[in-house]
Chain A
Amino acid sequence: MNKYTKSNKEMLDGNGAAAQAMKLARVSVIAAYPITPQSPIVEKLSTMVDKKEISCKYTCVESEHSALSYIIGAQLAGVRTGTATSSVGLALMHEVLGVASGCRLPIVMPVVNRALVSPWSLWCDHQDTMAERDSGWMQFYAENTQEVLDLMLMGYKIAEHCKVMLPLMVCMDGFFVSHSLQQVWLPSQESVDAFLPPYTPKNLFLDMNNPMLINNLIPPEEFTEMRYQQEIAFNNAIDIISSVQNEFNDIFHRDYDMVSTYRCDGAQAVIVSMGSSCGTVKHVVNKLRNNGIRVGAIKVTCFRPFPYKKLKAILKEIKCIGVLDRSAGLGAEFGPLCMEIKNLIGDDKCKVKNFITGLGGRDITEKIIEHIFYGLLDDQFSDKNWIDVQQDAMKIRKLNKKGGSV
Chain B
Amino acid sequence: MSNNLVANGVSTCAGCGLEIAIRCVLGVLGEKTIIVIPPGCAALFSGYGNSTALKIPGFQGNLENTAAYAAGIRAGLDIRGKEDITVLGFAGDGATVDIGLQSLSGMLERRERVLYICYDNEAYMNTGMQGSGSSPYSAWTTTTPGGKLTPKKDMLKIVEAHNIPYVASASIGYLNDLKKKVKTAKDVNGPAYIHIHTPCPTGWGFDASMTVEVARKAVETGLWTLYEIIEGQKKINIQISENINTLKYLKLQKRFKKVIKEDSTP
Is A245 engaged at the interface, CB distance under 8 Å to the other chain? no
Report whether B102 and A62 are in contact in the complex, using a CB–CB cutoff of 8 Å.
yes
From A76, A210, A212, residue with most partner B Cβ within 10 Å: A76
From A65, A66, A96, A213, residue with most partner B Cβ within 10 Å: A213
CB closest residue in chain B, given A58: B75
Assuming the A-B contacts A29-B79, A213-B57, are A77 and B73 also in contact, with contact meaning beta carbons closer than 8 angstroms in the complex? yes
Is B68 engaged at the interface, CB distance under 8 Å to the other chain? yes
- Of the stretches A44-52, A126-134, A217-225, the one at the interface is A217-225
Report how far A212 CA is from B52 CA in the complex, Å: 8
Report whether B47 and A211 are in contact in the complex, using a CB–CB cutoff of 8 Å.
no
Assuming the A-B contacts A29-B75, A57-B75, A69-B72, are A213 and B59 also in contact, with contact meaning beta carbons closer than 8 angstroms in the complex? yes
Find A211's partner among B36, B48, B56, B103 (CB 8 Å cutoff).
B56
B33 to chain A, nearest CB (A): 9
Find B72's partner among A77, A217, A222 (CB 8 Å cutoff).
A77
Is B80 engaged at the interface, CB distance under 8 Å to the other chain? yes
| 17 CB-based A-B contacts, threshold 8 Å | A59-B71, A65-B64, A66-B106, A69-B62, A74-B72, A74-B76, A76-B69, A77-B34, A79-B80, A81-B72, A206-B34, A208-B85, A211-B58, A213-B57, A215-B59, A216-B43, A219-B48
Chain A 62-82 residues near chain B, CB threshold 8 A: 62-63, 65-66, 69-79, 81
Find A218's partner among B48, B74, B106, B109 (CB 8 Å cutoff).
B48
Is B221 engaged at the interface, CB distance under 8 Å to the other chain? no
Report whether B72 and A63 are in contact in the complex, using a CB–CB cutoff of 8 Å.
no
Report how far A59 CA is from B56 CA in the complex, Å: 27
Residues of chain A lying within 8 A (CB to CB) of residue B106? 61-63, 66
Main secondary structure of the interface of B (DSSP, over half): mixed
Is B65 engaged at the interface, CB distance under 8 Å to the other chain? yes
Q: Tell me the B residues contacting A by CB distance below 8 Å.
A: 31-32, 34, 36, 43, 46-49, 52, 54-62, 64-65, 67-80, 82, 85, 102-103, 105-106, 109-110, 112
Residues of chain B lying within 8 A (CB to CB) of residue A74? 72-73, 75-76, 79
A202 to chain B, nearest CB (A): 16
Report whether B49 and A65 are in contact in the complex, using a CB–CB cutoff of 8 Å.
no
Residues of chain A lying within 8 A (CB to CB) of residue B43? 216-217
Residues of chain B lying within 8 A (CB to CB) of residue A60? 110
Report whether B46 and A71 are in contact in the complex, using a CB–CB cutoff of 8 Å.
no
A344 to chain B, nearest CB (A): 36
Report whether B62 and A99 are in contact in the complex, using a CB–CB cutoff of 8 Å.
yes
Report how far A325 CA is from B82 CA in the complex, Å: 48
Residues of chain A lying within 8 A (CB to CB) of residue B48? 216-219
Find A96's partner among B65, B79, B102 (CB 8 Å cutoff).
B65
Chain A 173-220 residues near chain B, CB threshold 8 A: 206-208, 210-219
Report whether B80 and A78 are in contact in the complex, using a CB–CB cutoff of 8 Å.
yes
A299 to chain B, nearest CB (A): 36
Residues of chain A lying within 8 A (CB to CB) of residue B55? 211
Number of inter-chain CB pairs below 8 Å? 152
Is A338 engaged at the interface, CB distance under 8 Å to the other chain? no
Report how far A208 CA is from B83 CA in the complex, Å: 13
CB closest residue in chain A, given B114: A73
Report how far A29 CA is from B112 CA in the complex, Å: 14
B162 to chain A, nearest CB (A): 12
Report whether B47 and A216 are in contact in the complex, using a CB–CB cutoff of 8 Å.
yes
Report whether B62 and A95 are in contact in the complex, using a CB–CB cutoff of 8 Å.
yes
Interface residue total, chain A, C-beta cutoff 8 A: 40
Report whether B47 and A77 are in contact in the complex, using a CB–CB cutoff of 8 Å.
no
Report whether B57 and A211 are in contact in the complex, using a CB–CB cutoff of 8 Å.
yes
Report whether B75 and A59 are in contact in the complex, using a CB–CB cutoff of 8 Å.
yes
Residues of chain A lying within 8 A (CB to CB) of residue B32? 208
Report whether A219 and B49 are in contact in the complex, using a CB–CB cutoff of 8 Å.
yes
CB closest residue in chain B, given A210: B57
Report how far A252 CA is from B72 CA in the complex, Å: 34
Q: Tell me the A residues contacting B by CB distance below 8 Å.
A: 28-29, 31, 57, 59-63, 65-66, 69-79, 81, 95-96, 99, 206-208, 210-219, 222
Report whether A70 and B46 are in contact in the complex, using a CB–CB cutoff of 8 Å.
no
Report whether A213 and B49 are in contact in the complex, using a CB–CB cutoff of 8 Å.
no
Report whether A73 and B71 are in contact in the complex, using a CB–CB cutoff of 8 Å.
yes
CB closest residue in chain A, given B48: A217
Report how far A208 CA is from B84 CA in the complex, Å: 11
Assuming the A-B contacts A71-B72, A73-B71, are A57 and B78 also in contact, with contact meaning beta carbons closer than 8 angstroms in the complex? yes
Residues of chain A lying within 8 A (CB to CB) of residue B105? 62
Find B71's partner among A65, A70, A79, A219 (CB 8 Å cutoff).
A70
Find A75's partner among B54, B76, B82, B109 (CB 8 Å cutoff).
B76
Report how far A60 CA is from B71 CA in the complex, Å: 12
Find A216's partner among B60, B80, B110 (CB 8 Å cutoff).
B60
B13 to chain A, nearest CB (A): 17
Report how far A217 CA is from B42 CA in the complex, Å: 12
Residues of chain B lying within 8 A (CB to CB) of residue A99? 61-62
Residues of chain B lying within 8 A (CB to CB) of residue A96? 62, 65
Report how far A218 CA is from B49 CA in the complex, Å: 4
Report how far A74 CA is from B46 CA in the complex, Å: 19
Residues of chain A lying within 8 A (CB to CB) of residue B34? 77, 206, 208
Report whether A73 and B76 are in contact in the complex, using a CB–CB cutoff of 8 Å.
yes
Residues of chain B lying within 8 A (CB to CB) of residue A222? 49
A105 to chain B, nearest CB (A): 11
Find B57's partner among A79, A95, A206 (CB 8 Å cutoff).
A206
CB closest residue in chain A, given B77: A77
A70 to chain B, nearest CB (A): 4
Report whether B61 and A215 are in contact in the complex, using a CB–CB cutoff of 8 Å.
yes
Residues of chain A lying within 8 A (CB to CB) of residue B58? 206, 211-214
Residues of chain B lying within 8 A (CB to CB) of residue A73? 36, 59, 68-76
Report how far A75 CA is from B61 CA in the complex, Å: 14
Report how far A381 CA is from B51 CA in the complex, Å: 59
Find A65's partner among B52, B54, B59, B68 (CB 8 Å cutoff).
B68
Report whether A76 and B102 are in contact in the complex, using a CB–CB cutoff of 8 Å.
no
Residues of chain B lying within 8 A (CB to CB) of residue A207? 57
Assuming the A-B contacts A65-B103, A74-B75, A219-B48, are A208 and B69 also in contact, with contact meaning beta carbons closer than 8 angstroms in the complex? no
